[in-house]
Chain A
Amino acid sequence: MKFKAFLTLDGVALLDKRFLPSLDKIGRTCHLYLTRTEDPATARHPHKPPQRRRRPIHPPNSERLPLSATPHLQQLRRPHRPSSSTPPSSTRVQQRRSGAGSVRSGETAAIQIKLVKKLTRGVHQPGARTDVRDEGAEVCGWFRMCPSRSHCRGRRWGSMGSWMLLRTCRSFILSLSLSRSTLQRGIFIRSINYFLPTLVQVPDLAQLQNLVDRLKNVGDLLTVAITQYGDLHLQVSTSLITVGSEFRRLKVLGVHADAPAGDQNLSAPTRTDMAIQRGQALSVLIRFKKLLWSKAFTRDKLLHKLPYGLFEHLGAFAFGFSSIRIYWDDHASPF
């Protein structure tokens, strides 16, 4: 086994309520980037499964294992849901099934992601798959589903000794490990290198959207920059005018850094440039006409459907994320 990871309930909730709905609207192909470090990310969808407990990984020749998959994300979401209703007894079940090492005492098992080799029907060579398993309820059986088939086919029930366990498992076909040349010429490496796993919270999304609407009158291209110490910087610049807005000390989720002392009095562009040079900021350039799409996406799909959790306003996150996503997706011609 090359990869195995567990998601906590919080992680599942984040994945289910925030990331997957977003990803589902953006694209179908998901590039997985499995690393030994604590900050793995997917390239095309630059998000990591958050709050993993344990993840033994043994890539043979590298610290990285790049793969691509085309899962139907709605199906990927499906097995996550029963975990939220997992009864307390499931901990005991899980411990008995998997041994004391897989889940620490007192914690509730949720989703297990595992890289496996499986034989696909009609194919003689086993191919790589990732299993997304929900092991929880002390009920009546297990079923397995392959996303390439209909929901009903492939479902079967069985017993697991004297313990009856509901186990949902999705297997997604993965590509072979992507070659170095593929990585170097594609968007993969670029995205990984430039991805900033930092989310910032904007206190007033309506105000931000209103500001963007007005900036649209000034120019065609918008620069969005986010720093790891909670700066959000928007700027429109033409040969005749530069207009920008800077928000400082926003709440940060993800990788966080302390703001350097002594640059409080610097201008917003200077602060952003310095942060980029230090590797503490990401800046992207977006066309306003593409931003309109992401705004609609933000309003409809995130704000209304995800009013929960750590951040009440996901505007900046979705805003920045969508923008970055648009930019990298058109890798041949960014605009």
Chain B
Amino acid sequence: MVDALSSVRWKRHQDAVVELSEHGIVLIVEESGCLQAKVYLKRELFLVYEYAAEGRPRFGLSLGLFVDCLNTFSAPGHAPVIEIRYPGPDMQLLLKSVDSPDACIYAEIRTRIPETISWDYNFEPAGSVPVTFTVRSAVLKEAVDDLEWPGSSIQLLLQPQPPSVTFRGEGHGDIQIDFQYYANNDLLIAFQCDHRISYRYKYKFLGATTSNIPSSVLKDNRGSKLSIGRGGLLKIQHLVSVQRPGAQHSFSDHGQQPSRIAYIEFYVKPEEDDTPIIDDS
């Protein structure tokens, strides 16, 4: 869980909005109206999940403090059972370890009334066929890291013939990274695109989507799914394993169950002055 939350923490002091529902918890982080990240913690991830609110309560908190606080609960070689409650007497978020009656760690995090999310959106496909590709998370991170060198604007180009994905950076120098689907489909796992499409994204937002990918994601050799929707909205999905306390090895032989996965989504708006290149041929 800490891994999942840490992956959307790209700066030290960062606010987040938490939304509770009968399906689980969603944590939303936003930056400059151009980048938004969501962490989905489904109710199946929790040992016990009790929900008795009307509507979907939302509250704001400091993501940095929340992560540091959760880190306080964890000890090397020990996965604690933590009870999380909301609201407390003063609308706090209350956390308490419940492993031992004689030793406990507790925390109270002050919450605030959340700011309105400046851009809540519907991610809609750009055309009749969704434009999407899946690449190994480690490879994606490496590519984005390499793109830091040229400059602040990164062009993402997808073309069906030959099926390939191109990252191009121009600035202090030029760099182009191509993923050829047929050449090495071990890196580019899946590809779906029926027309040529290209958008530019600010590097600092693109970099934030991969800068804190948990090491467990890289070790598990997972894939990250990237989709381009209407208006060039880029959606990046990572999957993070969330292990149940005391059952760390239950699924090691059979792969991770879907219910043990936390979904992380990033949405990046394209640069506004960019004219998309769309070729329907």
Interface-side segment among A15-23, A112-120, A123-131, A214-222: A214-222
**Minimum distance in angstroms from A106 CB to a CB of chain B:** 40
Interface-side segment among B101-109, B160-168, B185-193: B101-109
Which residues of B are found within 8 Å of A249, using beta-carbon distances? 102
**Minimum distance in angstroms from B7 CB to a CB of chain A:** 18
Does A7 interact with chain B (Cβ within 8 Å)?
Answer: no
Interface-side segment among B28-36, B64-72, B175-183: B64-72
Q: Is the CB of A240 within 8 A of B102?
A: no
Q: Is the CB of A243 within 8 A of B75?
A: no
**Residues A241-291 near B (CB distance < 8 A):** 241-249, 267-268
Q: Is the CB of A246 within 8 A of B71?
A: no
A247-B106 in contact given A210-B75, A217-B68, A218-B68 (Cβ < 8 Å): no
Does A181 interact with chain B (Cβ within 8 Å)?
Answer: no
Q: Is the CB of A241 within 8 A of B105?
A: no
**Minimum distance in angstroms from A228 CB to a CB of chain B:** 16
Q: Is the CB of B106 within 8 A of A246?
A: yes
Partner of A242, one of B62, B101, B102, B107: B107
A244-B106 in contact given A217-B68, A218-B65, A218-B68 (Cβ < 8 Å): yes
Q: Mark A199-223, 1 if CB is under 8 A from B, else 0.
A: 0000000010011001101100000
Partner of B69, one of A210, A211, A218, A246: A218
Q: Mark A292-333, 1 if CB is under 8 A from B, else 0.
A: 000000000000000000000000000000000000000000
A267-B72 in contact given A240-B62, A240-B65, A241-B65 (Cβ < 8 Å): no
**Minimum distance in angstroms from B65 CB to a CB of chain A:** 5
A267-B106 in contact given A217-B68, A218-B65, A241-B69 (Cβ < 8 Å): yes
Which residues of B are found within 8 Å of A214, using beta-carbon distances? 68, 71-72
In angstroms, Cα B3 to Cα A71, docked, is 54
Q: Is the CB of B103 within 8 A of A239?
A: no
Q: Is the CB of B109 within 8 A of A246?
A: no
In angstroms, Cα B101 to Cα A245, docked, is 12
Q: Which chain A residue lies CB-closest to B110?
A: A240
In angstroms, Cα B106 to Cα A248, docked, is 14
Q: Is the CB of B110 within 8 A of A246?
A: no
Q: Mark B179-223, 1 if CB is under 8 A from A, else 0.
A: 000000000000000000000000000000000000000000000
Partner of B103, one of A210, A215, A248: A248
In angstroms, Cα B69 to Cα A244, docked, is 10
Does B76 interact with chain A (Cβ within 8 Å)?
Answer: yes
Q: Is the CB of A239 within 8 A of B107?
A: no
A244-B65 in contact given A207-B75, A210-B75, A214-B71 (Cβ < 8 Å): no
Partner of A246, one of B65, B103, B108: B103
Which residues of B are found within 8 Å of A210, using beta-carbon distances? 75-76
A248-B101 in contact given A241-B107, A243-B106, A268-B106 (Cβ < 8 Å): yes
Q: Is the CB of B103 within 8 A of A245?
A: yes
**Minimum distance in angstroms from A265 CB to a CB of chain B:** 11
**Minimum distance in angstroms from B188 CB to a CB of chain A:** 39
Q: Is the CB of B75 within 8 A of A245?
A: no
**Residues B65-106 near A (CB distance < 8 A):** 65, 68-69, 71-72, 75-76, 101-106
Q: Is the CB of A242 within 8 A of B108?
A: yes
Q: Which chain A residue lies CB-closest to B93?
A: A241
**Minimum distance in angstroms from B48 CB to a CB of chain A:** 20
Q: Is the CB of A243 within 8 A of B62?
A: no
Q: Which chain B residue lies CB-closest to A268?
A: B106
Partner of A217, one of B71, B102, B107: B71
In angstroms, Cα B69 to Cα A245, docked, is 12
Q: Which chain A residue lies CB-closest to B71?
A: A214
Partner of A245, one of B62, B65, B105, B110: B105
Partner of A247, one of B62, B72, B75, B103: B103
Q: Is the CB of A241 within 8 A of B109?
A: yes
Which residues of B are found within 8 Å of A218, using beta-carbon distances? 65, 68-69, 72
Which residues of A are found within 8 Å of B102, using beta-carbon distances? 247-249
Q: Is the CB of B108 within 8 A of A211?
A: no
Which of B62, B102, B109 has the most A CB atoms < 10 Å from its CB?
Answer: B102
**Minimum distance in angstroms from A91 CB to a CB of chain B:** 44
Which residues of A are found within 8 Å of B105, using beta-carbon distances? 211, 243-246
State the A residues within 8 Å of B (CB): 207, 210-211, 214-215, 217-218, 239-249, 267-268
Knowing that A245-B106, A267-B106 touch, tell me 6 more A-B residue pairs with CB under 8 angstroms: A210-B76, A218-B72, A243-B106, A244-B106, A247-B102, A248-B103
CB-based closest 8 A-B pairs: A217-B68, A243-B107, A214-B72, A248-B102, A242-B108, A245-B105, A241-B65, A247-B103
State the B residues within 8 Å of A (CB): 62, 65, 68-69, 71-72, 75-76, 101-110
16 A-B contact pairs sorted by A residue (CB < 8 Å): A211-B72, A214-B68, A214-B72, A217-B72, A218-B69, A218-B72, A240-B110, A241-B65, A242-B107, A243-B107, A244-B105, A245-B106, A246-B105, A246-B106, A248-B103, A267-B106
